[in-house]
Amino acid sequence: MAIQHTQNISSIQEAHVTSHAEEPNRRDFLIIAGNAFAGVGGVIALWPFIAQMNPDKTALALASTEVDLSPVKEGQAITVVWRGKPVFIRNRTPDEVKAAQDVQMKDLRDEVARNDNLAADAQATDQNRTTKGHENWLVAIGICTHLGCIPKGQAMGDEKGEYGGWFCPCHGSHYDTAARIRKGPAPRNLEIPPYTFVSDTKIKIG
């Protein structure tokens, strides 16, 4: 029985080969058209099952957040949540601002500003890390650019690292008062999120 079926199949295959050698017939057309239709349909049907893992509407609804800065005194810092990520907001002292402004570009590990409000190739000067007229405010995403830990330096008693900014305890990355990487394994400065001052004491992130 089995042998007979093989013969049947091979005879079909032979017939197929011959028909290809000649003109494609009605059956060839139907097979190709049918399989193409089913293939395209199958791929399209797959999309919803992939797209369902993208951020849903509740995640997109958290895309922007407003922060009142008035309670944050000079030298203090707060951490707010934006898109589930911690955002560091520090009211820097004049000494800290001056220390950040005095740094030469050649001393930086990463010379790019990493500021979503500026062009991608802007230099990592303190002016480019802050907003004009509000230079005391440093707003940065508090996620170490090495492997995603949250650096220390927000709370009063925290270790702030060799440059007085932030220090990531996971693998020892030191950030300065403009949240630029100065020492350790992290490759980039802390990211500056897109934000604007809606008033002198209020910012909108996102």
Partner 1 sequence: MSSHESNYQPTSRFGKWLEERLPVGGLMYGQFIEFPTPRNLNYWWTFGGILMLCLAAQLVTGIVLAMHYQASAAEAFNSVDHIRRNVNYGYMIQAMHAVGASMFFVAVYTHIFRGLYYGSYKAPREILWILGVFIFLAMMATAFMGYALPWGQMSFWGVTVITNLFSSLDSIIPGVGTAVVEWLWGGYSVSGTTLNRFFSLHYLLPFVIVGLVALHVWALHVVGQNNPAGLDIKTKSDSVPMYPYAVAKDVVGMFAFLILFAWFVFFMPDYLGHSDNFTEANPMVTPPHIVPEWYFLPFYAILRAIPSKLGGVVAMFGSIVVLLFVPWLDTARVRSAKYRPIFKWFFWLFVFTCLALGYLGALPAEEPYVTYAQIFTTYYFAFFLIIMPIVGIIETPKKLPGSITEDVLGPGAGKGAGAAVAASPEAR
> Which residues contact partner 1 (rule: CB under 8 A)?
1-6, 8-9, 11-12, 15, 27, 48-49, 51-54, 56-58
Question: 3-state class of 32 per DSSP?
Answer: helix
Beta strands 85-91; 77-82: pairing state:
antiparallel
Residue closer to partner 1 (CB basis): 14 or 162 = 14
Q: In angstroms, give the least distance from the CB of 17 to partner 1.
A: 13
CA distance 133 to 126: 12
Annotated active-site residue in 5, 20, 146, 171 = 171
> With contact defined as beta carbons under 8 Å apart, do 79 and 142 qualify?
yes
Q: Closer CB to partner 1, residue 11 or residue 201?
A: 11
The residue (of 12 and 63) whose beta carbon lies closer to partner 1 is 12
Pairing of strands 195-199, 202-205: antiparallel
Residue 173 token pair: 């990355």
**Measured distance CA(24)–CA(11) in Å, rounded:** 17
CB of 90 to partner 1, least distance (A): 35
CA gap 37, 45 in Å, rounded: 12
Q: Is the separation of the CB atoms in 155 and 119 below 8 Å? A: no
Q: Which residues contact 153 (CB under 8 A, 6 or more apart)?
A: 77, 88, 159, 160, 161, 165, 166, 167, 175
Smallest separation (angstroms) from partner 1 to the CB of 53: 7
β-strands 181-183, 195-199 pairing: unpaired
Residue 171 annotated among the catalytic residues of the structure: yes
Nearest residue (CB) to partner 1, 61 versus 119 = 61
Residue whose CB is less far from partner 1, 62 or 147 = 62
Q: How far is the CB of 57 from partner 1 (least distance, A)?
A: 4
> Nearest distance from residue 194's CB to partner 1, in Å?
24
Question: Which residues are the active-site residues?
Answer: 171
